[in-house]
Structure 1
Amino acid sequence: MYDLVEPLGLVPYFADESDEALMALGLRNSWDAYFAGRAAPLGREVPAGVVHAIFYNFAPGEVARHIPEVWELTTPEAALAARERGCVAGMRRILGDLADDPRITRTADLLLKAATSASVEGRALYAALRTVPVPREPVARLWHAATLLREHRGDGHIVALVAEGIGGTEAHVLHALSIDLPAKDFGRVWHLPATQLEAVIDGMRERGLIGADGWLTPEGRAAKERVETMTDRLAEAPYTALSPTELDRLVTELEPISAAFRAVFPM
């Protein structure tokens, strides 16, 4: 289900229409758009430190460069509406004629049934997004359901990282090295000062996760595997709301939809 749902959940980050709609509100750049769009369900009174804790994997100070300043430029309500408009426009562009196919409605309804069935306990961002009204238009409903499931999984991923003792920046290093990419070249941490990134790597080396050669040790790879296994397990709950027949139907209906996004998004 991750492979099928994740491409839809990436629409706000890879479809230009989302950033364009948010920046039309007066936001300064794409990172303003990211933080305003994703943090909007939390409301304007949640301080940067809390957003940082909930988002988990941004370097210290990154969230504070955008929160709360974005709320001086727009409102959470306007950001939510703009994000939805932009994402629906992007989805319609990518889906083409498929956007008006009856299977979109059927898939959206099934995915939404799963996405709104799980417990919100311990899942701050998923819980916040659950308070947002569900769109009526089928493409918007499909995107909303995928976003709920992505944030539900993300909250569970943070639980898995915390349980394994992996910090936010460490998670990026762990992932980069697990795909045989030097951490300094990974998109989410390459911009950090070299001394800051080296300090993170040194800490992981001291714990036996990274070897003297700069790559993951067997224990480092085992830790990554434990994190991913727990993340998958914690992401199962929404789908238990579907009967086996409904789940089979969802997979069948979702496959061509998901394929359209995989064809244009880097995965």
Structure 2
Amino acid sequence: MPHPQAKIHRIFELIEPIATASFSTVATEAFLAVGMRNYWDGYFAGRAAPLGTAPAVVIHAVFYNFADGEVARHIPWVWSKLSPEEAIAVRERGSTAALRGRIGTLADTPDLVWAADLATRAAVSAPTEGRPLYAGLRALAIPEDPVSRLWHAATLLREYRGDGHNALLTAHGIGGTECHVLMALALRMRPEEFGRTRHLPAAQLAAVVDRLRDRGLVDAAGDFTEAGRELRQRIETLTDELAAPAYEALSATELDELIAKLEPIAAASETAGG
């Protein structure tokens, strides 16, 4: 059944600190232990593994928001050290350990089991058309361990939303690097200070900002124009709308229960994860 968009967005806020245990120090260490050289090797190996040994150009297209050449520094090199199937196992193991460490005693409660079951029911119910990364994850086995199952469901829901978000960015003519510049502005940061764009050559980053300025989205001072703010909000609102089908398998009562049970888990994970 359809649900209010405010609740769909609230679910996104709650699954984010659970799913992103995959990008923690604990998960990275699990990848370093099997031969990865650094954080980004583990990131690409783990996140791209459901797509098999697809070439860098395909991973770049699916992930969308990396600068040219970033993916190719890791794909296909990571597959010389481990297979996609092994990467999937390492990611699940490391992410589960990270999440369990973050949430402490909440990991062994009936509420977590119930949250994992509800989230999983939603996560495997959505249509896969036009959602390549979500579809790849849907093909994986659902973990039996409740903490692993909750992390897996959160990851599915996160990537389902992310696939839809990328489609909207494309439809609105916002390139991968441009979307990070806009994110930096939304966080009131200069693009050259933002983690995902600060490594770019100054001339390349300036060219991205200039394109946004030419479109009337960024002003002369390098801040949002009113049109820029409106476009960003429109994309965020539409992203929530495209994420909504994943939750139609739950009743209104079940969605409220899921939100209530996820709140302490997400808060603990966010606090511990910084």
* TM-score, length of structure 1 as denominator length: 0.97
Correspondent of 2:132 among 124, 131, 144:
124
Matches within 5 A, 1:50-89: 50-89=58-97
Give me the whole-angstrom Cα distance separating, in 1, the residues matched to 2:74 and 2:103: 32
For each residue in 1:102-133, what CA deviation from the matched residue of structure 2 results, as whole angstroms up to 9, or x when unmatched?
Answer: 11111100000000000000001000110111
For 1:99, the equivalent position in structure 2 comes to 107
Give me the whole-angstrom Cα distance separating, in 1, the residues matched to 2:219 and 2:188: 13
For 1:178, the equivalent position in structure 2 comes to 186
Cα deviation for residue 178 of structure 1 reads 2.0
Percent identity reads 55
Give me the whole-angstrom Cα distance separating, in 2, the residues matched to 1:239 and 1:64: 35
Q: Which amino acid aligns with 1:78?
A: E
For 2:18, the equivalent position in structure 1 comes to 8
Query: Are 2:237 and 1:229 equivalent residues in the alignment?
Result: yes
Correspondent of 1:264 among 258, 261, 272:
272
Cα deviation for residue 265 of structure 1 reads 2.9
For 1:218, the equivalent position in structure 2 comes to 226
Give me the whole-angstrom Cα distance separating, in 1, the residues matched to 2:234 and 2:172: 8
For each residue in 1:57-96, what CA deviation from the matched residue of structure 2 results, as whole angstroms up to 9, or x when unmatched?
Answer: 0000000000001001111111110111111111111121
Describe the SS at the equivalent of 1:236. Answer: helix
Cα deviation for residue 29 of structure 1 reads 0.8
For 1:245, the equivalent position in structure 2 comes to 253
Higher relative contact order (CA 8 A, sep 6+): 2
Give me the whole-angstrom Cα distance separating, in 2, the residues matched to 1:171 and 1:38: 20
Q: Which amino acid aligns with 1:5?
A: I
Cα deviation for residue 146 of structure 1 reads 0.3
- Structure 2 gap segments, 5+ residues each: 1-10
Q: Which amino acid aligns with 1:12?
A: S
For 1:38, the equivalent position in structure 2 comes to 47
For each residue in 1:119-155, what CA deviation from the matched residue of structure 2 results, as whole angstroms up to 9, or x when unmatched?
Answer: 0000010001101111011111000000000100110
Give me the whole-angstrom Cα distance separating, in 2, the residues matched to 1:4 and 1:212: 36
8 Å contact 2:134–2:159 — kept in the other structure? Answer: yes
For each residue in 1:197-241, what CA deviation from the matched residue of structure 2 results, as whole angstroms up to 9, or x when unmatched?
Answer: 011111111111111111111111111111111111111111111
Runs of 4+ displaced beyond 3 Å: none
Query: Are 2:29 and 1:20 equivalent residues in the alignment?
Result: yes
Give me the whole-angstrom Cα distance separating, in 1, the residues matched to 2:103 and 2:221: 45
Cα deviation for residue 264 of structure 1 reads 2.1
Give me the whole-angstrom Cα distance separating, in 1, the residues matched to 2:35 and 2:203: 35
Correspondent of 1:204 among 193, 212, 218:
212
Correspondent of 2:154 among 127, 146, 151:
146
Give me the whole-angstrom Cα distance separating, in 1, the residues matched to 2:29 and 2:187: 32
